[in-house]
Amino acid sequence: MLGEPTSFWGKLRRSPSGACEWHPLADHCADVGAVAEALLELPLWRQRLSRLAGQDLSATNRARLAAIATLHDLGKFNLGFQAKGRPDLGSTAGHVEEALAALFYSDLLGFVGELDAWGEGATGLVVSAICHHGRPHNIDAAFGKWQRAWWSARAGFDPLAGCRQLFESCRRWVPRAFDDAEDLPAGAAFAHAFAGLVTLSDWIASDMEFFPFSADAGFPDDRIRFARARAREALSAMSIEVPATRRADPENRSPFRRVTPPGLVARPAQAEICRLPADTDGSITVLESETGSGKTEAVLARFVHLFEKGLVDGLYFALPTRSAASQMHRRVLEAAQRAFVQPPPVVLAVPGYLRVDDAEGQRLPHFEVLWPDRDRFRYRAWAAENPKRYLVGCIVVGTIDQVLLSSLMVGHAHLRASALLRHLLVVDEVHASDAYM
């Protein structure tokens, strides 16, 4: 929408001339909820999250998670945040700790307590969704962000009414979430993974080519239908969802034949890896063999085998150094081009580089990237444009530190870890890693 915000806004940008364009908050929440819903319907996401939950995630509980993701920006209804787009509303504020303060240090958002019926884990998952900007927040510290004035109606803006309307919208958008079912999971590992999924959903739903700002406010039920269609398109374009038809081989070659040049005979280590069973619960394999014995081709054949069966959604090939990763990227790209009729993108996960397949990108101002063929690489290269998104890519070759960052207390560790759940992780040159690594 053009002009100064006339109701609660979720996204806003100003041109150099000062012209304002904004996206209604309810519509942005619908966008994020739709992407989360689409991710939760992907078999591998569902399976991995179920494993962490210790229970199969039923359709009702998946709907509940989508509803909680929809509420991720509840804090943006506070007038301190809205003042960033409407200076007449007074002093400005954030929206994460402000939401936590309203939830835990007041009774203003008491209606959210209805989610307690979903089990003791529901509150923690709401907190995970609210803390979707790359790091958790301390609820005790949030007390200092409590100001009743930010939640009191003023100048035609009623924050509590806006919150209640969004909550009621969730009832219409995902009615199954309010059915009787088993409790939501309460474990910490599950909450961490869900936090990463919400962050990813928010990033995807903030892409204006798939989710342009609404032309009008007041029609969120129309927006959710639009957002659901766009969510599936976005996941496909970014190769987060790769259909079985793109994974399969029309020539019905073995995985080893798919990744190697014609005429090669499998060496002992390669043959041994190719004989490994495909464990649906995952497994750890250590391959030790002399230099030149074909370990790289062996693990790539293993990936193709698991990928075709739908047991992994991607590959992260981790190496100890930047130069080793850059060299391996070429080998993995050539193998992918042999293995697939329509190869998924092969991303180089080394900060400072912008390389996908055989294309090099160029960093531009305002976080934009120039690719030699924008139509082809605008979304094919999405994961490569920000190091925090590397692990969202389908076939990724990079340094081991990108994996380690998913397990350290650093920004966006949850996003990295959640995305990595779907992948086959190959750690090459293990002997080169020190004890800390």
Write down the pLDDT at residue 437: 56
Report helix, strand or coil for 108. coil
Instruction: At 310, list the tokens.
Output: 């739908």
Nearest 5°: phi and psi at 123?
Answer: -60, -45
Write down the pLDDT at residue 431: 77
Burial class of residue 105 in the structure, from the number of CB atoms within 10 Å of its CB (0-12 exposed, 13-18 middle, 19+ buried): middle
Residues 304 and 413 in one domain: yes
Q: Which of 237, 258, 288 is the last residue of a domain?
A: 237
Residues 149 and 271 in one domain: no
Residues 428 and 359 in one domain: yes
> Do strands 9-14 and 20-24 pair parallel, antiparallel, or not at all (unpaired)?
antiparallel
pLDDT band at 145 (very low <50, low <70, confident <90, very high): confident
pLDDT band at 293 (very low <50, low <70, confident <90, very high): confident
Q: How far is CA 180 from CA 50, 58, 111, in A?
A: 19, 11, 18
Residues 148 and 271 in one domain: no
Tell me whether residue 1 is in a domain.
Answer: no
Tell me whether residue 328 is in a domain.
Answer: yes
Tell me whether residue 323 is in a domain.
Answer: yes
Are 38 and 168 spatial neighbours (Cβ–Cβ below 8 Å)? no
With a CB cutoff of 8 Å and minimum separation 6, the contacts of 418 are 192, 193, 194, 195, 196, 197, 199, 200
Q: Give this prediction's pTM.
A: 0.95
Report the percent of the chain where pLDDT is more than 70. Answer: 98
Residues 55 and 103 in one domain: yes
Q: Which of 193, 215, 237 is the last residue of a domain?
A: 237
Domain count, the chain: 2
Tell me whether residue 3 is in a domain.
Answer: no
Write down the pLDDT at residue 436: 57
Q: What is the CATH number of the domain that holds 40?
A: 1.10.3210.30
Residues 331 and 421 in one domain: yes
Residues 140 and 48 in one domain: yes
Residues 259 and 355 in one domain: yes
Tell me whether residue 2 is in a domain.
Answer: no
Tell me whether residue 4 is in a domain.
Answer: no
**What is the domain extent for residue 327?**
244-432
Are 345 and 357 spatial neighbours (Cβ–Cβ below 8 Å)? yes
Residues 229 and 298 in one domain: no
Are 68 and 115 spatial neighbours (Cβ–Cβ below 8 Å)? yes
pLDDT band at 217 (very low <50, low <70, confident <90, very high): low
pLDDT digit string, tens, across residues 44-58: 999 999 999 999 999
